[in-house]
Structure 1
């Protein structure tokens, strides 16, 4: 049995983040119990897939990935649609995989890269570099070393007594360092950390950490690079734990704040299905078209709470509007507030 141990140190930041996350998990569980768990899980799964794919350059929006999940037709590059379908299928199958089993890791890669990579489900046959745009961050170990390195890493993971938050982050970094596949390493690394964490605490299966990583993508690559330069994955562990903490904070924050104006609130409540501008304005009982656009429609669009049915043709006479996933969350929070305050 290998006695390999990845090099990492425990900093004050890491210890603090572990404590913060532990305290917040209980409140996140209460929120899942209080709200519609299926709806919240669906929204967060879509955010997870959107964020993880966006890191790799996929341009599909949350609305488009929602449409793909619902089996609707989406006009977008075929490769990006295939990436989304694969990722949705992989996260759906995730609970069936054992994070310590190499065959399951290969199966996950096969599913994630189906129709995208000839060697899907197999370790890379040649050399590869870890890239951030055009910049080479790291030249991965030779291909003939990959099976041994992965075996050592999985053996350590099975034996380690380190906290799951730390061990999963170490695995994520070491996996990216080895870069065992010709493509799809980032997606698999993020998926596998989520799987590891969900085996410790099932709530992690419903936490969209990937969307936070996407928003801090440059820092993600810097943490990988700094860990490589220091031969110590502490910078990457600290970064990942910060992303997990911040994802929990976002999911625990009130969904409706003072920035939801009475006008936008009225529009969200009036919007049912897909409605034209004229229909919406009539539903609100507004005669002034300019006031409707400036005080109701545009702020709701800019906040991302409603979306156009024809986003590429904003001036089309066939244009209609519908709630986005985020808008649905805001509306649900408004209705929860109604119940709390005893409103009809």
Structure 2
């Protein structure tokens, strides 16, 4: 065995990781029995748009899902030309996702060329200079020197080809290692998320149409924090756990399940809940003045049904407490929109 093929990225497979792999696999199995072909095709289109919107939004693109849909349909969109180009490139790349081979380095380079065509001069070429990851006006991570990129990427692909770990794990490790190396001058975030989706799609075709990127965008701060935590620990387990949570939530959104019988009050709460909201914000949104009645008729039953969750579950009475939709709650709301 050559020296290059012996490279082993540092990561620990924790009980949490194993538990989520099992849950995701179970839900993917249930998803595969979707019988309504027309609804499935409709969802694929919606989810592809959400995937592209989420991945671009993380990088600062301001186009809405409606505008990206218009770009997809060839309609005129009034927006910055660069953002429209980013969207049209991403649409073209995701449309070709089934042809890229996840363990072939040349395919990654070709995909980057297509993704960044007309956006940077060196699309489809590894960077020749130093690069750092910025956040809040400071450098969060200095990527390895440019003269090491080719060797690091070669080693990473050799490891991916030889690894016997579950694709849910290897895809997350590859994603983290790719972001750590930061091989291109621009487009690294988009490419890392694309390649994880590609690895997962080779495991199960359903992942070509599951909008994991959309959930990553909703938890963008946590995404960057997981990257930083893994770098600090010299172990990508924190990032693996984060990505598996996003994948589990994304899969749960689409998994056929018996819709819970929510009361009109709980349904109203789910309709107004957007992101993370405090009790006062939610109470104001539904127009109810009585705090006790709101807690008993809205918050408590929604929590009991698992449709919402606390941001601080260990401190239920904290003044900083907020609420958000759970995976089950998002699935419920999505089903209401489709039916």
Length-normalised TM-score, structure 1 = 0.74
Aligned partner of 1:141 among 135, 139, 144: 144
Confirm or deny: 8 A CA contact 1:212 1:243 kept in the other structure: yes
> Which residue does 2:196 correspond to in 1?
193
Gap runs ≥5 in structure 1 = 265-326, 334-344
Aligned partner of 2:96 among 85, 93, 98: 93
* Matched residue SS, 1:96: coil
Matched, 1:104 2:107: yes
Gap runs ≥5 in structure 2 = 272-332
> Which residue does 2:316 correspond to in 1?
none
Aligned partners of 2:107, 2:261: CA distance in 1, in Å?
Answer: 41
Deviations 1:149-181 (A, max 9, x none): 000000000000011100010000000000000
What is the CA-CA distance between 1:32 and the residue it aligns to?
Answer: 6.4
Alpha-carbon distance change, 141 to 328 in structure 1, aligned in 2, over 3 angstroms:
closer
Aligned partners of 2:96, 2:74: CA distance in 1, in Å?
Answer: 18
* Matched residue SS, 1:82: helix
Instruction: Flag as ranges the 4+ runs of structure 1 deviating above 6 A.
Output: none
Aligned partner of 1:73 among 71, 76, 88: 76
> Which residue does 1:62 correspond to in 2?
65
Map 1:1-344 to 2 at 5 A.
Answer: 1=2, 2=4, 3-31=6-34, 33=36, 36-252=39-255, 258=264, 330=336, 332-333=338-339
Deviations 1:281-334 (A, max 9, x none): xxxxxxxxxxxxxxxxxxxxxxxxxxxxxxxxxxxxxxxxxxxxxx9974541x
Aligned partners of 2:199, 2:174: CA distance in 1, in Å?
Answer: 9
What is the CA-CA distance between 1:34 and the residue it aligns to?
Answer: 5.6
> Which residue does 1:340 correspond to in 2?
none
Aligned partners of 1:230, 1:260: CA distance in 2, in Å?
Answer: 42
> Which residue does 1:341 correspond to in 2?
none
Aligned partners of 2:167, 2:156: CA distance in 1, in Å?
Answer: 15
Greater CA drift, 34-43 or 104-113: 34-43
Aligned partners of 1:32, 1:24: CA distance in 2, in Å?
Answer: 15
Look at both structures and tell me which one has the larger radius of gyration over its CA atoms.
1
Alpha-carbon distance change, 163 to 101 in structure 1, aligned in 2, over 3 angstroms:
same
Alpha-carbon distance change, 73 to 260 in structure 1, aligned in 2, over 3 angstroms:
farther
**What is the CA RMSD across the aligned residues, in angstroms?**
2.4
* Matched residue SS, 1:31: coil
Aligned partners of 1:331, 1:213: CA distance in 2, in Å?
Answer: 22
Alpha-carbon distance change, 256 to 136 in structure 1, aligned in 2, over 3 angstroms:
farther
Confirm or deny: 8 A CA contact 1:227 1:236 kept in the other structure: yes
* Matched residue SS, 1:120: coil
Deviations 1:161-210 (A, max 9, x none): 01110001000000000000000000000000000000011111110000
Kindly tell me the number of residue pairs found equivalent between the two proteins: 272
Alpha-carbon distance change, 256 to 215 in structure 1, aligned in 2, over 3 angstroms:
farther
* Matched residue SS, 1:94: coil
Aligned partners of 1:43, 1:255: CA distance in 2, in Å?
Answer: 24
Aligned partners of 1:241, 1:86: CA distance in 2, in Å?
Answer: 27
